[in-house]
């Protein structure tokens, strides 16, 4: 029995065929795309990382079973297209997802690609194989998968415990490439082998990453580029200066802040720049297990004191979005309607009134103009973390809270949070796909490793499962909205804002699409070419 | 004959005497006289005075709270209201620089005093006791000096965590052997001096001799060294801040102000980068100028 | 008086001042004297009295800053050295006028061989080949009685003893046969036994070459042995000048008397030896804050009110015996 | 001479041994290790995964065992593997050394070729306007934060020429190679040139006060002969020492400069490695730097003997 999703996929496929032919007419072969990279990723293995510093340079090396269509900015179920799969189908009451695989695909080392590679990859992700990843940050994505089975060399099935339409979305993320069975995880960390449009050449830590064109790529005529070179420049101003000076064809994707964007445009008016939401939310993690935030009134007061517009004005010169857990509309697919959002305490437009209410709550808890509450705000020693923390501290002043910034080095951040050795933490949560399953289970379900606050609400947990199994999109949306509202009202992890960032490239660079509801999925770069 | 006449005619003997302030024996006239002889040193002293004055009266001088965020006035250009503009948080740069003087002074004085004190104790002990203590000191100081200062400070701040006292400690530790070496060398030389021998002969205790006789005589080189180090500690803090390990936000440390995120604004909001840079350079420059003059005055060997 | 052609050096009203942190001081204040061919003039005084600065002023080697010659003339063989330009002055230094310094240990360049340092002195003023100059240098070393001169010439100063070094200095100073040799405390830093040898050597060579000699010393014993005439300096001024005989016979200035009294080895005929070594109380005054009157007054047992108010003129007390003291006539009696 | 050399080499070994202990234990005091960082980056931790990884890297063993393991390997020439890249540490460190060495060499050359002549001029012209100007310039060299200077240079060059001297790993021409290194070397060398100049100046002043300089003048030697022939020969000794010490200090300056100019040398790599708690890299790199510094000091002492005939190491 075929689901609506499968039909949509077929439709999407036909769209893809049309668009590729038009692109093919325009595209010019050749050239090396030069991009700067914001930092040196620890290794080259996408499955073992949790930062898009890995996805950007290494996604071009791989293929997924399915992928979000690379030239559509907004990721959705409708834009998922086959890649190593030729087609897919939901069978067995939506409890089995079966893929027919592409034949004749070769790994970069010449070995043929088969269904065994797919099984190997996902067995390893589920922790079922002999070989282990050093780290496996997205193991929880496959919680509902019983096992992966093969049928011959070119068919593979995911057998689920219960229907989970979102699995397809997870499989379409840039985070989910297929790894070769014959290469060990350790080798994949230093010298990745894929089936993708570009072959890995070298990775010099803190220096550069080089990729070269895969001449045997299964998609004929692709890629256009002869290669991609990433030069690692952690210092942002040096990097931007270098881009302006023509040392690079493109900036690191979604790494140009709004003030820098202005700078780029003024220095190089020909540069093409886009600003998109990147589905990264800045939020506050609250330690509700210890004083003072074990007091629900103080938690609520804090939520009420937030002036989200001010954050956005300062950080993004107005170009940011207010929302709940899910990325706000229009880029986000699952965002609450405006009226619903504004009914949540602290989201109302009248900041003054909110703060008056917050003050009352604080007074109720025993604080006032003469008795301030001293609070430590912990955050990582990175500007995107630190800057909003500074604003947060300033805003808390208005409700008798004296915040002190506690800057934590990356190495100590996670252990500190895990030890519950903090009061408030300023945190960034990036969402790999704009999908409720990914964000709810990962960040709010009881026992999830990324549920830093240990927020645990069995009621909501049930709603998580309900929306996850719902195949009717509209019904599912309603459920998602309800959950999101509840999470905000519970001050589970108050969301301050959703960021928007810029990407720039020189006008001769063509075929780049910056995605608007994820910053992890759009870097295959096989359609990118240079008009030089 | 002509040459001599020309050369000598320019000198009015009595006027020169008067102008040189030869008769000034104390008070302001003496200070003015010294200032005229050491123009650069006087300039340095003025800069340092302004610097210290700013640090002490930061609360009075600052026109805004250095930590208050003001979204409405973010990245404002320098104007009558905000003399040095505002940063991306709308915080007044002038007020932050005024308050930053406190931090820089605290780091400079704190680490110099800490490193200096320990260095003096170690140096005196090592130079005075000789023996195994001296041997151990020499090796430890070799070790510390073979490690680049910034590397040592980097690891230290990483180990201690970024905070004002920790940064002071991290900068002070590499300072210890430098100070101790100078004091040790002086102590060794002084030990042979007759007045020390004399003190010994009348049965003064070794500690007493070290503290009462040797220490005061090493004061001049110590002061010279300390002033010279003051500037470099301020610079080290700035470098640590640049590498993200200095005094954390929101304290308005000059190094932090002009590093990292502020560097993003080097062209769109250059005042964010220029003013703190000038503040650091000027403060360090001032202490260096002053330290130079002090060395000229206090260290007779260097007198020119 | 000898005729003018015999006059090697004629210093008139020389004034040299120093600008220092503590103010301006007159290191040499209105000093005049002459030296004839083959004559030895001794300048005596305590340290800090301006003897050495006087000597340096003659060669125009006062470090500037902080010092400067501000007046007077220094006429060497008819040429006023103070009017020469730098190049002309360099041609005179080490050629017509040479100097031997107090510290043989530090006065030779430690990183240059002895021979080379003498060769340099020669070739600066004589048009000689390196070989000729080198031969001359060895000849000079032999002249100053250094054994194995050829080997010594190849050595560095630190390899020589103090006396040897001073001999080398003398060889260097006399290499160009100067008209005037200035010896600034040439024996002070040496062992007593060596002192006499060096002094004898200087006098021998002076006689042999007919050089005028200015001998600067604080040691009246040396003066008595070597000089024909003596100048006594105090606080930058010449306070007494006389022939050796006249001075030792009857010093006219209380300061000179004090100096003599402090040296038991050389009793002046009318000065009784003292048990105490130094009978002048107090120390040389700071040259920055000189009293208005006689600078020696605060230390002088004979001082009267006038001494404090008015500086005594340098008066001739007969036979060219000059002294600047209001009570010069009474000095002998009072003491 | 031979006894001296033996003694000297022994002390050098003691120092290096001490450094190995200091850096090893200092690093272990720093909270957090590579595993914490990897998991922090991934945003989760699974205690079993964590324990596995710590075991795999050997950082679960007692510190003394770890130390002996490291130093044993170090002495055998086995430098271990980078925790981050999993490549041999030597392979990570070695290619970066020439880059930093070139930069440091150029900076030192810069510092010596500008600092020494200017220092001599300043000393010779002591008290003149030129001296004052040179002193102010040199003091400002010691006062400007080098990263600020670097940033201003970069900004100015983009603003004025629309170009920037960014690192070029494979310079095609000699000129390109020079441009790649010269600008950052100048930025970092400004400070050491200033320092060299100051030391040269005060050393020259010291020497110019010496009796033998007066002797030379009394001989009638010209100013040039006195200053360059007599004085500089003696004054250069402390300058050599300072340049030797400066070689060690340069590493500090290079950390910042390599960051600003994005040069993939060892200095920046060291900071990155500290940040990642990549013990094998940090430890071996610090040891490498220490060996260079210790030998630089040794070389300076030997140079002393060459320049100063008084020193003959006879103790």
Tens digit of pLDDT for each residue in A471-493? 888 999 999 999 999 999 888 88
The average confidence (pLDDT) of chain C is 79
Between β-strands C315-316 and C322-323, what pairing exists: parallel, antiparallel or unpaired?
Answer: antiparallel
Contact D271 B292 (CB under 8 A): no
Torsional sign, CA A338, A340, A344, A349: positive
Q: Which residue has the higher pLDDT, B187 or A119?
A: A119
| pLDDT score recorded for residue C217 | 85
A226 in a structural domain: no
Q: Does C111 touch chain D (CB under 8 A)?
A: yes
DSSP string covering D45-65: --HHHHHHHHHHHTTTS-HHH
Q: For residue A221, is it within any domain?
A: no
A293 and A413 part of one domain: yes
Domains and CATH numbers, chain C: 7-96+178-261+278-323 (3.40.50.300), 109-175 (no CATH)
- Residue to test with chain D: of C67, C87, C107, C118, most D Cβ within 10 A: C107
Judged by CB atoms closer than 8 Å, whether chains meet at A387 and B250 is answered as no
Q: How many domains is chain B partitioned into structurally?
A: 2
Residue with the two structure tokens 């050239």: A31
User: What is residue A478's predicted lDDT score, i.e. its pLDDT?
Assistant: 94
Angle at B211 between CA B208 and CA B214, to 5 degrees: 110
Q: What is the DSSP letter of B24?
A: -
Round to whole Å and give the CA distance between B235 and B112: 13
Which residue ranges make up each domain of chain D? 102-272
Cα C51 from Cα C182, distance rounded (Å):
11
What single-letter DSSP state applies at residue A180?
A: P
The predicted pLDDT at position C281 comes to 65
Write the DSSP assignment of A30-58 as a string of letters. Answer: --EEEEEESS--S-S-GGG--SHHHHHHH
Candidates B175, B180, B184; CA nearest to B229 is B175
Q: Cβ contacts (< 8 Å) between D223 and chain C: which residues? A: 86
Domain that holds residue A146: 53-188
Q: pLDDT at residue C308 above 50?
A: yes
Query: Where does A42-182 show beta strands of DSSP type E?
Result: 66-68, 80-82, 85-91, 96-101, 145-150, 155-160
Backbone angles phi, psi at A67, to 5 degrees: -145, 150
Q: In what order do the strands lie in the sheet with C180-184?
A: C97-100, C180-184, C212-217, C40-44, C229-234, C237-243, C322-323, C315-316
CB B180 within 8 A of CB B142: no
| pLDDT band with cut points at 50, 70 and 90 for residue A67 | very high
In this model, does residue D264 exceed pLDDT 50?
Answer: yes
Chain D: closest CA distance from residue B74 (Å): 23
pLDDT at D250: 79
From the list B133, B294, B135, the residue with the least C-alpha distance to B210 is B133
CATH class of D102-272: mainly alpha
Q: What percent of chain A has pLDDT over 70?
A: 95
Query: Tell me, what's the pLDDT at B303?
Result: 38
- Same-domain check for residues B209 and B184: yes
D212 touches chain C (CB under 8 A): yes
Residue-by-residue DSSP string for B190-228: HHTSHHHHHHHHTT--HHHIIIIIIHHHTHHHHHHHHHH
- Signed CA dihedral, D41, A433, A462, A6: sign only: negative
- Collapse the DSSP code of A373 into the 3-class scheme (helix H, G, I; strand E, B; otherwise coil) and give the result: strand
CATH number (domain holding residue A485) = 3.10.105.10
**D45 interaction partners in chain A (CB closer than 8 Å):** 414, 418, 449
Residue D15, preceding bond cis, omega within 30 degrees? no
Residues B6 and B129 in one domain: no
Backbone φ and ψ of D228, nearest 5°: -95, -40
Q: Find the mean pLDDT for residues C89-111.
A: 83
Last residue of a domain, one of A188, A215, A231: A188
Q: How confident is the model at residue B42 (pLDDT cuts 50, 70, 90)?
A: confident
Q: How confident is the model at residue B302 (pLDDT cuts 50, 70, 90)?
A: very low
Residue in D212, D220, D307 nearest the CB of C109: D212
pLDDT digits (tens, 9 = 90+) for D152-184: 888 887 777 776 666 766 777 777 777 778 888
| Residue of D231, D125, D222, D230 lying closest to C88 (CA atoms) | D222
| Burial class, A231, CB count within 10 angstroms (exposed 0-12 / middle 13-18 / buried 19+) | buried
Domain of B4 in residue numbering reads as 1-37
Mean pLDDT computed over D27-51: 79
Where does a domain end: A137, A154, A188?
Answer: A188
Q: Inter-chain contact B4–C83, Cβ cutoff 8 Å?
A: yes
The backbone torsions φ and ψ at residue B13, rounded to the nearest 5 degrees and listed phi first, read -50, -50
Closest by CA to A425, choosing from A437, A436, A435, A413, is A413
Residue to mutate among C23, C68, C236, C288, with most B CBs inside 10 A, is C23
Contacts with C137 (C-beta within 8 Å, 6 or more apart), sequence order:
C115, C118, C119, C122, C153, C171, C175
Q: Is B299 on the interface with C (CB under 8 A)?
A: no
Backbone phi and psi for residue D71, each to the nearest 5 degrees, phi listed first: -70, -35
Residues of chain D neighbouring A449 (CB-CB closer than 8 A):
44-46
Token representation of residue D80? 């271990």
B128-172 pLDDT, tens digit per residue, is 777 788 888 888 888 887 777 777 777 877 777 778 888 898 889
Instruction: State the pLDDT at residue C143.
Output: 80
Collect all residues with Cβ–Cβ distance below 8 Å to A366 and sequence separation of at least 6.
none
pLDDT digits (tens, 9 = 90+) for A196-220: 999 999 998 888 999 999 999 999 9
Examine the domain organization and report whether B4 and B128 are in the same domain.
Answer: no
Query: Nearest to residue D251, comparing CAs of D200, D286, D278, D275?
Result: D286
Phi, psi (deg, nearest 5) at residue C242: -165, 170
% of chain A with per-residue pLDDT over 90: 61
The answer, yes or no, to whether A and D have at least 3 beta-carbon pairs within 8 Å is: yes
pLDDT given for residue C290 in this prediction: 66
Question: Measured between alpha carbons, how far is A282 from C74 in angstroms, rounded to an integer?
Answer: 87
Interface contact C65-B4, CB threshold 8 A: no
Q: Chain-centre distance of CA D122, in angstroms?
A: 26
CA distance C25 to A506: 74
Residue B87 shares a structural domain with residue B143: yes
B155 & B26 share domain: no
Looking at A128, A155, A188, the residue that finishes a domain is: A188
**A206 → closest Cβ in D49, D261, D268:** D268
Query: Min CA distance, D37 vs chain B (Å)?
Result: 14
Per-residue pLDDT for A247 more than 60?
yes
> Whole-angstrom Cα distance, residue B102 to residue B97?
9
Instruction: Please indicate, yes or no, if residue A519 is contained in any of the structural domains.
Output: no
Q: Do A359 and A494 belong together in one domain?
A: yes
User: Helices in C6-66 by DSSP H: which ranges?
Assistant: 51-58
> Domain check: are B25 and B146 in the same one?
no
Tokens 């894929």 belong to residue: A194
Q: What is the CATH number of the domain that holds B247?
A: 1.10.3720.10
pLDDT of A32 reads 95
Whether A130 is in a domain gets the answer yes
Which ipTM did the prediction report?
A: 0.75
Q: Is the pLDDT of residue A3 over 60?
A: no
**pLDDT beyond 80 at A316:** yes
CA atoms of A10 and C21, how far apart (whole Å): 94
Q: Are A283 and D43 in contact (CB under 8 A)?
A: no
Distances (CA, A) of C232 to C218, C249, C251: 10, 15, 10
Closest CA to A223 of A507, A29, A514: A29
The B-side interface with D (CB below 8 A) comprises: 39-40, 139-140, 142-143, 145-151, 154-156, 158-159, 161, 231-232, 235, 238-239, 242-243, 255, 258-259, 263, 266-267, 273, 277, 280-282, 284-285, 288-289, 292, 301-302, 304
C95 and C176 Cβ atoms separated by less than 8 Å = yes
Token representation of residue C202? 């200087």
Q: Quote the minimal CA–CA distance from D265 to chain B in Å.
A: 15
Residue C278 has pLDDT above 70, yes or no: no
For residues B213 and B190, give the distance between their C-alpha atoms in angstroms, rounded to a whole number: 9
Let me know if chains D and B touch, i.e. at least 3 Cβ pairs under 8 angstroms. Answer: yes
Residue A247 vs residue D45, higher pLDDT: A247
**B100 and B6 within one domain:** no
Sole residue written with tokens 């282990």: A132
Q: Measured between CA atoms, how close is D302 to chain B, in angstroms?
A: 18
CB within 8 Å: A390 and B249: yes
* Mean pLDDT (whole number) for A363-370: 91
A32-44 pLDDT, tens digit per residue, is: 999 999 888 888 9
Interatomic CA distance for residues A421 and A424, integer angstroms: 10
8 A C-beta contact, residue A514 and residue A496: no
The closest CB to that of D212, out of C59, C87, C106, belongs to C106
| Residues B33, B23: Cα–Cα separation, whole Å | 10
Interface contact flag, D37 A241, Cβ < 8 Å: no
Percent over 90 (pLDDT), chain B: 12
Treating both helix axes as pointing N-terminal to C-terminal, what angle do D232-260 and D146-161 enclose, rounded to 10 degrees?
70
Chain D touched by A11 (CB under 8 Å): no
Strand partners, C98: C181
Helix-helix angle B271-298:B93-129, to 10 degrees: 30
pLDDT score, position B5? 40
The pLDDT score that the predictor gives to residue B18 is: 54
Question: What total of structural domains would you count in chain A?
Answer: 2
Q: What is residue C291's predicted lDDT score, i.e. its pLDDT? A: 67
Contact D78, D224 (CB under 8 A): no
Tell me the average pLDDT across C27-52: 84
Q: How far apart are the CA of B44 and the nearest CA of chain C, in angstroms? A: 18
Q: Helix, strand or coil for residue A64? A: coil
Give the distance from residue D66's alpha carbon to the nearest chain A alpha carbon, in angstroms. 20
Question: Which chain B positions have a beta carbon within 8 Å of A392's beta carbon?
Answer: none
Which tokens go with D250? Answer: 């340069």
Q: Average model confidence (pLDDT) for chain A? A: 89
Co-location of B260 and B119 in the same domain: yes
Give B39's contacts in chain D (Cβ within 8 Å).
Answer: 132
Average pLDDT over residues A367-382: 89
| B18-77 residues touching C, CB cutoff 8 A | 20-25, 33-34, 37
Are C107 and C169 a contacting pair, CB within 8 Å? yes
User: Which of D18, D145, D271 has its CB closest to that of B280?
Assistant: D145
Q: What percent of chain D has pLDDT over 70?
A: 94
Task: List Cα–Cα distances, A220 to A72, A80, A100, in angstroms.
Answer: 21, 20, 20
Q: Is D221 on the interface with C (CB under 8 A)?
A: yes
Q: For residue range D299-312, list pLDDT tens digits in order.
A: 877 877 777 777 66
Q: How far is CA A199 from the centre of its chain?
A: 24
């Amino acid at each position: 029995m075929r689901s609506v999703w499968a039909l949509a996929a077929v439709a999407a496929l036909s769209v893809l065929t049309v668009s590729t032919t038009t692109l093919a007419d325009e595209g010019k072969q050749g050239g090396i795309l030069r991009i700067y990279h914001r930092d040196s990723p620890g290794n080259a293995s996408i499955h073992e990382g949790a930062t898009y510093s890995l996805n950007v340079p290494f996604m071009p090396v791989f293929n997924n079973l399915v992928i979000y269509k690379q030239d559509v900015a907004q990721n959705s179920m409708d834009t998922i297209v086959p890649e190593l799969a030729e087609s897919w189908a939901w069978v067995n009451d939506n409890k089995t997802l079966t893929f027919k695989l592409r034949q004749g695909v070769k790994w970069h080392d010449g070995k043929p690609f088969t269904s065994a590679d797919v099984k190997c990859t996902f067995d390893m992700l589920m922790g079922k194989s002999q070989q282990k990843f050093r780290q496996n940050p997205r193991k929880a994505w496959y919680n509902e998968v019983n096992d992966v089975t093969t049928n011959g060399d070119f068919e593979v099935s995911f057998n689920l415990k219960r229907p989970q339409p979102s699995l397809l979305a997870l499989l379409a993320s840039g985070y989910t490439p297929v790894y070769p069975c014959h290469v060990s995880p350790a080798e994949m960390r230093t010298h990745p082998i894929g089936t993708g449009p570009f072959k890995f050449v070298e990775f010099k830590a803190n220096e550069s990453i080089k990729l070269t064109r895969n001449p045997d790529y299964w998609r004929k005529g692709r890629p256009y580029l002869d290669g991609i070179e990433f030069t690692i420049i952690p210092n942002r101003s040096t990097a931007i200066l270098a881009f302006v000076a023509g040392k690079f064809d493109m900036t690191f994707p979604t790494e140009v802040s709004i003030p820098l964007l202005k700078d780029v445009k003024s220095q190089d008016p020909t540069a093409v720049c886009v600003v998109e939401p990147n589905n990264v939310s800045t939020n506050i993690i609250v330690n509700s297990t210890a004083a003072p935030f074990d007091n629900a009134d103080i938690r609520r007061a804090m939520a009420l004191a937030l002036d989200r517009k001010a954050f956005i004005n300062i950080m993004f010169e107005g170009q940011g979005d207010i929302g709940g857990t899910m990325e706000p509309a229009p880029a986000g697919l699952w965002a609450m309607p405006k009226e619903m959002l504004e009914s949540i305490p602290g989201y109302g437009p009248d900041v003054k009134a909110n703060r008056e209410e917050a003050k009352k709550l604080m007074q109720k808890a025993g604080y006032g103009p003469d008795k301030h509450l001293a609070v430590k705000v912990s955050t990582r020693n990175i500007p995107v973390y630190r800057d909003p923390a500074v604003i947060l501290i300033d805003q808390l002043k208005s409700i008798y809270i004296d915040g002190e910034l506690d800057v934590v080095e990356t190495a100590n951040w996670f252990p500190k949070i895990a030890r519950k050795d903090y009061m408030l933490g300023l945190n960034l949560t990036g969402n790999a796909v704009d999908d409720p399953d990914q964000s709810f289970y990962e960040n709010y379900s009881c026992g999830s490793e990324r549920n830093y606050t240990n927020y645990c609400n069995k009621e909501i947990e049930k709603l998580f499962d309900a929306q996850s199994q719902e195949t009717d999109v509209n019904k599912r949306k309603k459920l998602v909205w309800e959950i999101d509202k509840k999470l905000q009202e519970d001050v589970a992890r108050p969301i301050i804002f959703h960021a928007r960032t810029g990407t720039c490239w020189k006008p001769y660079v063509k075929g780049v699409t910056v995605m608007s509801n994820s910053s992890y999925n759009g870097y295959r770069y096989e359609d990118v070419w240079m008009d030089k | 004959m002509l040459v001599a006449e020309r050369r000598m005619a320019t000198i009015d003997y009595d006027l020169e005497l008067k102008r040189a302030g030869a008769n000034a024996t104390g008070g302001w006239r003496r200070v003015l006289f010294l200032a005229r002889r050491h123009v650069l040193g006087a300039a340095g002293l003025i800069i340092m005075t302004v610097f210290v004055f700013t640090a002490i009266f930061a609360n009075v001088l600052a026109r805004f709270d250095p930590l208050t965020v003001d979204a409405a006035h973010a990245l404002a250009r320098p104007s009558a209201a905000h003399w040095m503009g505002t940063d991306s948080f709308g915080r007044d740069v002038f007020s932050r620089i005024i308050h930053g003087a406190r931090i820089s002074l605290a780091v400079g004085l704190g680490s110099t005093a800490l490193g200096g004190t320990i260095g003096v104790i170690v140096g005196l002990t090592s130079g005075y006791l000789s023996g195994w203590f001296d041997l151990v000191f020499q090796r430890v100081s070799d070790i510390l000096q073979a490690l680049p200062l910034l590397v040592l400070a980097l690891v230290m701040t990483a180990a201690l965590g970024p905070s004002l006292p920790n940064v002071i400690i991290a900068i002070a530790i590499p300072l210890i052997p430098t100070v101790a070496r100078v004091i040790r060398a002086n102590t060794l030389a002084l030990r042979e001096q007759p007045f020390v021998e004399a003190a010994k002969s009348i049965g003064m205790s070794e500690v007493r001799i070290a503290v009462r006789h040797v220490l005061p005589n090493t004061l001049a080189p110590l002061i010279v060294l300390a002033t010279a180090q003051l500037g470099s500690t301020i610079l080290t803090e700035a470098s640590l801040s640049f590498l993200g390990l200095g005094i954390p936000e929101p304290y308005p440390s000059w190094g932090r102000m002009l590093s990292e995120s502020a560097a993003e604004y080097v062209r769109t909001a250059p005042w964010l980068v220029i003013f703190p840079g000038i503040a650091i350079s000027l403060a360090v420059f001032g202490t260096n100028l002053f330290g130079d003059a002090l060395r000229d005055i206090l260290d007779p060997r260097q007198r020119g | 008086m000898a005729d003018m052609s015999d006059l090697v050096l004629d210093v008139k009203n020389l004034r040299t001042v120093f600008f220092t942190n503590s103010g301006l001081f007159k290191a040499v204040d209105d000093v005049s004297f002459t030296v004839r061919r083959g004559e030895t003039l001794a300048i005596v005084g305590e340290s800090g009295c301006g003897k050495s600065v006087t000597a340096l002023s003659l060669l125009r080697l006062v470090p500037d800053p902080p010092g400067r010659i501000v007046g007077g003339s220094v006429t060497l063989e008819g040429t006023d050295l103070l009017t020469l330009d730098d190049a002309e002055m360099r041609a005179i230094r080490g050629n017509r006028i040479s100097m031997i310094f107090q510290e043989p240990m530090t006065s030779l360049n430690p990183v240059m061989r002895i021979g080379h340092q003498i060769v340099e002195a020669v070739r600066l003023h004589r048009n000689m080949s390196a070989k000729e100059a080198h031969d001359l240098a060895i000849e000079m070393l032999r002249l100053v009685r250094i054994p194995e001169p050829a080997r010594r010439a190849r050595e560095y100063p630190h390899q020589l003893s103090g006396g040897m070094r001073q001999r080398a200095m003398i060889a260097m100073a006399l290499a160009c046969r100067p008209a005037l040799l200035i010896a600034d405390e040439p024996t002070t830093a040496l062992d007593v036994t060596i002192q006499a040898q060096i002094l004898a050597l200087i006098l021998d060579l002076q006689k042999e070459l007919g050089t005028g000699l200015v001998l600067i010393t604080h040691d009246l014993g040396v003066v008595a042995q070597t000089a024909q005439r003596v100048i006594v300096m105090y606080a930058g001024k010449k306070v007494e000048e006389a022939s050796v005989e006249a001075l030792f016979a009857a010093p006219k200035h209380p300061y000179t008397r004090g100096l003599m009294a402090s040296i038991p080895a050389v009793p002046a005929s009318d000065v009784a030896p003292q048990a105490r070594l130094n009978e002048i109380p107090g120390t040389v005054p700071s040259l920055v804050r000189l009293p208005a009157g006689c600078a020696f007054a605060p230390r002088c047992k004979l001082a009267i009110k006038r001494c404090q108010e008015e500086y005594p003129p340098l008066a001739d007390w007969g036979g060219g015996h000059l002294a600047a003291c209001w009570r010069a006539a009474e000095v002998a009696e009072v003491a | 001479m031979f006894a001296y050399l033996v003694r000297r080499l022994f002390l050098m070994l003691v120092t290096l041994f001490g450094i190995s202990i200091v850096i090893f234990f200092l690093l272990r005091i720093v909270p957090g290790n590579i595993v914490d960082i990897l998991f922090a980056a991934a945003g989760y931790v699974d205690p079993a995964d964590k324990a596995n990884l710590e075991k795999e890297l050997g950082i679960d063993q007692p510190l003394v065992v770890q130390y002996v393991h490291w130093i044993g390997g170090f002495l055998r020439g086995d430098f271990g593997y980078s925790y981050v890249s999993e490549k041999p540490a030597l392979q990570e460190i070695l290619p970066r050394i020439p880059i930093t060495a070139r930069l440091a060499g150029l900076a030192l050359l810069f510092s010596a070729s500008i600092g020494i002549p200017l220092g001599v001029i300043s000393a010779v012209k002591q008290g003149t306007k030129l001296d004052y100007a040179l002193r102010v310039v040199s003091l400002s060299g010691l006062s400007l934060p080098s990263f600020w200077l670097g940033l201003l240079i970069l900004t100015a060059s983009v603003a004025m020429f629309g170009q920037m001297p960014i690192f070029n790993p494979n310079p095609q021409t000699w000129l390109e190679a020079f441009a790649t290194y010269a600008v950052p070397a100048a930025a970092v060398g400004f400070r050491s040139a200033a320092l060299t100049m100051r030391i040269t100046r005060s050393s020259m002043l010291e020497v110019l006060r010496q009796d033998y300089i007066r002797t030379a003048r009394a001989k009638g030697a010209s100013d040039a002969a006195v200053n360059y022939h007599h004085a500089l020969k003696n004054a250069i000794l402390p300058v050599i020492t300072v340049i030797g010490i400066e070689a060690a200090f340069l590493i500090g300056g290079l950390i910042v400069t390599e960051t600003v100019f994005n040069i993939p040398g060892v200095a920046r790599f060291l900071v990155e490695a500290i940040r990642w708690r990549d013990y094998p890299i940090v430890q071996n790199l610090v040891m490498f730097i220490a060996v260079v510094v210790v030998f630089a000091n040794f070389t300076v002492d030997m140079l002393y003997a060459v320049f100063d005939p008084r020193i003959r190491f006879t103790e």
